[in-house]
Structure 1
Amino acid sequence: MKSKKNFVNASSFFSICVSFFSFFVLNLPSVKSFFSLYFTISSPLFNLFALIGLYITGLLNCTNTSRINLVFTSIKLSRQKRDFILLWLSLYSILIASGLWSEHIVLLSLEPALQYLSVFLFVLGLTFFTQKEHIPIIIYLQIAWGVILSLMAINIDGILQGRNYAPLSMPLGASLVCCFALIFLNQSNLISKICWASVFLINLKVLVSWPGRASILFPVIIISFYLIFIFTPKIFSSLITLNKARLFKFITILIFLMFWVFYLLTNLSSEILESRLTRLFTNVSEEPRIVIYRDTFQTILDKPLFGHGLQTYQAIFKSIPHNIFLEVWICAGIAGLIILSMILIQFICNAMIIIFYTYNSRALAFSLYTLFYLLIWNVLGELKDSYILFGAISIHLSNRYKY
């Protein structure tokens, strides 16, 4: 009996470790930026630590007995995950092949080769080892990480000095949508909802003081979509059934949030952010992204069927396309674009079912979380860091609207 209890404790420990390393992988860029404030540690060491931690704890978590066995027989793979693995391996094979036939063969260099190998291994590890029971802990760790980064930004002047704001702002945007889900679907008391709302506002306060737009705009778009098309009908159903307590909670939290969001946007937003938002809505032609997209599409038209090869755009324009669809198309041609579209359609269908029908706050949180990263990878991300997007999608395939 005692040995059985010890085994249960060990299983719980390894499960928590898998959740931690899954979270760690999904936040590697921000973790690197955070530690660069205090230490000089090379990026490959972080990747190696995350990779070894994920695979070791994942394998240990999959063992069902104390003796060594074939752990891969214990790995739970749904049909959706098997489909995802097939599509992901097909896409990755085409991308790697394109990197070998292009004029700019980047994979012969050690650093790019290791980057794309790490993307492959990260996504494969997250697909095999991270299951639905790990999702709640990942969400709470994401929110905690958002709080840490926000408090650090509030207390350290010039934290963005010489740093790219994107790696630090993305976790805050992800934390925003997770907090939103916990506020509006969590069945906890009003005090708990106000605590989640306070975390939401702390993250927002930092984001509006930074120059980046995507990590604010995309959570606003996602939250607005949910409130208008999904949550409002649920509120009307509460009116019909005369669920006054639920309606009072909703109105109280909504008024609280709207007041403080308005205050933060009107009083604490940075001048750079305001000018960039104004330009986005008044003079789109001056947007640097529009020029990049135009140049990318013109380059694609030269070889639309087979593409130009991996990282060709970077070699020609010394930049990145800032769009996952355009980058895959310019690298791998129409075949790569079709496979990428199939992966994303699979995710969107799965996510929409959860978003529309779930009453579970954690299931909703991870759907919104993954949707946020999909939107981000169409303006900021690139293929060599795409383990965050595809890793989140692979985990999401374990997500269920009922727990």
Structure 2
Amino acid sequence: MALTHRTLTHDDLPRFQRMVDAAFLGETPDEGAERYRELFEPDRSLGVFDGDELIGGGGAQTRDLTVPGGGPRPVAAVTSVGVKPGHRRRGVLTRLMRAQLHGLHDEGREAVAALWASEASIYGRFGYGLAAEFTRLSVPKNAAFHAGVSTGDARLREVSRDEAMPHLKAVYEELRPTRTGWLSRTEPSWAHQFADEERDRGGLSSYRWVLHPDGYAVYRVKQDWQERGPRCELHVREMAARTPEAHAALYRYLLDVDLMGELKFFTASDDPITHLLGDPRLALRTRSDSLWVRLVDVDRALAQRRYGSDVDLVLEVSDDFCPWNAGRVRLVIEGGEANARRVDDAPDVRLDAQALGAAYLGGTRLTSLARAQRVREVTPGAVAALSHAFLGDHEPHCPEVF
């Protein structure tokens, strides 16, 4: 039977959730699907059908993403993309991705899409580039800071969820416009980020909420009582601070919690903890991919962020999946502002949409992509100049999986 696809409705949510669970080898109780109803945007969700059977699908959340120097910009936060076992290798995902990206373009909606990839080999063929990474951090208890660190004299308190949430939201919203990779949060997305039912905990404790006047930390505990004494793990879910002093104070508090043996945290790749410590080797770090970014409309997307240096270069962009992006674009950057227009001039740099997506948040160097043979230099020095312009002031980081 021929495959079909269509936009979903609110009534499709239960079987859509069952399809996602099957694709990710998970299981959601029937009543659990209702928890996702306020996150579910049916008009932005597509289903692929084999007859009447929903065999694949995916959606997008309407969010803002902070881009380098440009503050929050609209992004299609692509989510819940999956294909049921037994229906793979039939072109379902390709059909879905084409319908979604072409729909975004035809409707003139977001110029940028972003997602977390279940497998890193999947989304490059649809023009998504690896734009941000995170660090899995592990630090032993009582790890000492270097002698010059100030943690101030502010009192840190552990409070209830109800007391903590207004403070979290205020700090997050204040910081978000300057933190590349951070997303806007609606009330349902706040609830989802800090969902705390038993099935959300993965064998850990409920959340504990730490407040500093200029920041916060949220963590869980994994119990581990050994013969030589307790070695409980403290798993940080999120930490944010307005000042370096508050950031250091929160880390100091967490590292000194009684009965713990190790602090675990998935954090920004340029988290300053290694430079806070007197012995930086105490911070064990493993990097992995986080945000994959796709420029839906190259010309519009390039103009939505700011840049670190001036350039005037012609880019020859290839994009088989979204052919309206293909062609030559003169990118003129002056004073951080970009103008992109179509030209027939000879190119200075050749690259594809995946490379542009990877570099977009300022964390992936175009010079590195050139060494990986994903970017081709035509005019000597052009790649280095373009790479410098794209770099951000800090590593992009998305503190939530959506």
TM-score range, shorter chain: under 0.3
More helix by share: 1
**What is the TM-score normalised by the length of structure 1?**
0.27
In the superposition, the TM-score normalised over structure 2's length comes to 0.27
Structure (1 or 2) with the greater strand fraction? 2
Give the number of the structure with larger relative contact order, counting CA–CA contacts within 8 Å between residues 6 or more apart.
1
